[in-house]
Amino acid sequence: MVLVQIPMFNEREAYQMPIGAVCTLAWPDDRLIIQVLDDSTDISIMMNISVLDDMIPAKVEELVQEECEKWHEEGRNIQGAVLLALLAASTFSLASAASHATTNVFALDALVNRTSTLLSEVKLPPSLRSSIFEFVESLGEFSPDQIEAVLVEVRKRAIAPALRVAILLCLVMSVMLMLEAMYMSAVSLGVKLFHRTPEKRYRWEPIRGDEELGSLAYPMVLVQIPMYNEKEVYKLSIGAACALTWPPDRIIIQVLDDSTDPMIKNLVEQECRTWASKGINIAYEVRENRKGYKAGALKKGMEQTYAQQCDYVAIFDADFQPESDFLMRTIPFLMYNSRIALVQARWDFGKHVRRLLTRHLPGDFAVNYSKCLMTRIQKISLDYHFKVEQESGSSSYAFFGFNGTAGVWRISAINEVGGWKDRTTVEDMDLAVRASLKGWKFLYVGDIKVRSELPSTFKAYRHQQHRWTCGAANLFRKMARDIVLAKEVSLLKKIHVIYSFFFVRRVVAPIVTFAFYCIVIPLSVVVPEVSIPIWGVVYIPTTITLLNAIRNPSSLHIMPFWILFENVMSMHRMKAALIGLLETASVNEWVVTQKLGDTLKEKMQTNAVESTRTSFVTDRVSFLQLGFAVFLMCCASYNVALGVNYYYVYIYLQAFAFVVMGFGYVGTFTTNS
């Protein structure tokens, strides 16, 4: 009997030659044993640990076995030697893999199992077999380096691919959002540069009195003022409505009071009686319940006999104060243009006040713009909404979302499309979309401004944004099919309503703002396997920010605060959008936005004495925001220690914003008491 030994060490290129040469030796097959002794240490050769393979055997094992089996088919007796060679290869590979920084736990387990199987097939003395078994089993235990290696592998094979998909989706949505913003800005800027005023696009002329007709030359106008426990502002809106310039016998002021506080109800009713005693045609209407909330109140008001005699209806929320010539400037558009259903005025919040973060704003007359930084930030967003979104929609498609107040409707258009509906929390947008699908046109007149109050408490603003965002997304879900099947509008307008108005602005915008800038970018710093192109991280958000700043040049110094604030708010908006799209239980949650009027100072002084630790936590602290701030802090710190870019500058600032807003140190504060 002759034993032929072939020692090998990482012989990927030359292993076939010695095996082939030995197997051709002139010797009886039953008296020759060929023993391949493989001491390879190259893990890339011994094992296949890539994500595309099954992470189990060694490549050398496969290659050696294949070559040995080839010669075995020709009659060479090398099976016993193969087992010994494979055992040596697997054992040594296992020892090397266990100490290798990139080995993962699945590969280790596979090698342990393979080596144990080989041990059971090879005839060895019991003591040697036991020692080898103990050695093999000990190699299966984890060391700190192995745990780190497992985490690295999980990051490479699970987190990184998922994050790449998220980055791709976010970049696509960001481009969509940027293109939409550029388009709207171009249209609104063109309107301003070429002076395409509403008076040039539509017929308008002042209403002139007629000696024969007298006041009958003026159409009947209904002014609706819906309110709910508006103790602080009810006098302002009622007083402004009663001061509108219009023939007294051709106007009806209708106060729709859904207040649940008996004391406030009495105050509102008494105010109506006071104005009635002055000769104002004013009606005070209440309901037995609040079914349908604002939509239900407006619908109930339209059912009154005197309301059915009116041609147009102007709607003002309880904190809105129109100028006396409001009707004189808006009604002519409706009178002389039979297809216009809605004339929308602009909300106005500015005030002639110089503060640390406020500059002189010519032409602005507001109630509480300078109350706090949060109200100034809101003004930037709402000014962009009116100057860009509403203007571009009115000019290009004669369509935009009704803002629910500071507008005048043609009553026949409301009746034609089925009146007010309370199926969502955006009854105003619902009515506008249904009217547009019937071919009615809308007109935005930015020169007509109506003073109003901005939410000055973060809690009130958060509830308002939830209602607006959730309702719009839910309306998209409910009306998408109706929009597609509408026959009275063109295909281009359908695309505009579905893609631009709903999908990009009401779904993509809230989701991508939070997902990309608050989740994906921070996560990318702890996953070095992925990268985000600079145009997605810098150029796109910079472009969108500049498009906002262009229309608010006097607020340029507040833009950094606006960015951080809007990113925090995007958490709540994305949540609201998903609730609306998925139509969960809280989809129709309605919380009336708190108005403080001129009583804020009093409230703050009173509450300073009455506030408690409980009210501070429940009214101001958001643990969701604070928890997310911790996540951002961790990402930023990792970026500082191990990162290769400077994202930590932005992430730290954003984390700070989450902390500040998480503790409620934004806006003003009044307790529930």
User: Would the pLDDT of 58 be above 50?
Assistant: no
Strand ranges across the sheet with 407-410: 282-286, 251-257, 221-227, 312-315, 407-410, 340-348, 441-451
Query: Looking at residues 98-109, what average pLDDT do you find?
Result: 46
Q: What is the pLDDT of residues 135-164, one digit of tens each?
A: 555 555 556 676 677 778 888 888 999 999
Q: Tell how strand 340-348 and strand 282-286 pair up.
A: unpaired
User: Would the pLDDT of 314 be above 60?
Assistant: yes
Query: Looking at residues 64-76, what average pLDDT do you find?
Result: 55
Banded pLDDT at 67 (limits 50, 70, 90): low
The pLDDT, as a whole number, for residue 82 is 46
- Residue that wins the pLDDT comparison between 324 and 61: 324
Average pLDDT across the chain, whole number: 82
Banded pLDDT at 100 (limits 50, 70, 90): very low
Banded pLDDT at 443 (limits 50, 70, 90): very high
User: Would the pLDDT of 307 be above 50?
Assistant: yes
User: Would the pLDDT of 41 be above 70?
Assistant: no
> Which of 33-47, 386-400, 595-609 has the least mean pLDDT?
595-609
Query: Looking at residues 631-658, what average pLDDT do you find?
Result: 94
Q: Is 258 a residue of the active site?
A: yes
Query: Looking at residues 172-198, what average pLDDT do you find?
Result: 95
User: Would the pLDDT of 392 be above 50?
Assistant: yes
Choosing from 258, 348, 364, 430, the catalytic residue is 258
What is the percent of the chain where pLDDT is above 90?
60
Banded pLDDT at 50 (limits 50, 70, 90): very low
State how far the Cα of 52 lies from the Cα of 584, in Å rounded to an integer. 40
User: Would the pLDDT of 341 be above 90?
Assistant: yes
Query: Looking at residues 571-599, what average pLDDT do you find?
Result: 81
**Rg for the chain, CA atoms, rounded:** 37
CB 650 within 8 A of CB 524: no
Q: Is 430 a residue of the active site?
A: no
CB 219 within 8 A of CB 312: yes
User: Would the pLDDT of 504 be above 80?
Assistant: yes
CB 443 within 8 A of CB 333: yes
The pLDDT, as a whole number, for residue 182 is 97
Choosing from 38, 348, 428, 430, the catalytic residue is 428
User: Would the pLDDT of 49 be above 90?
Assistant: no
- Residue that wins the pLDDT comparison between 54 and 447: 447
The pLDDT, as a whole number, for residue 117 is 61
pTM: 0.75
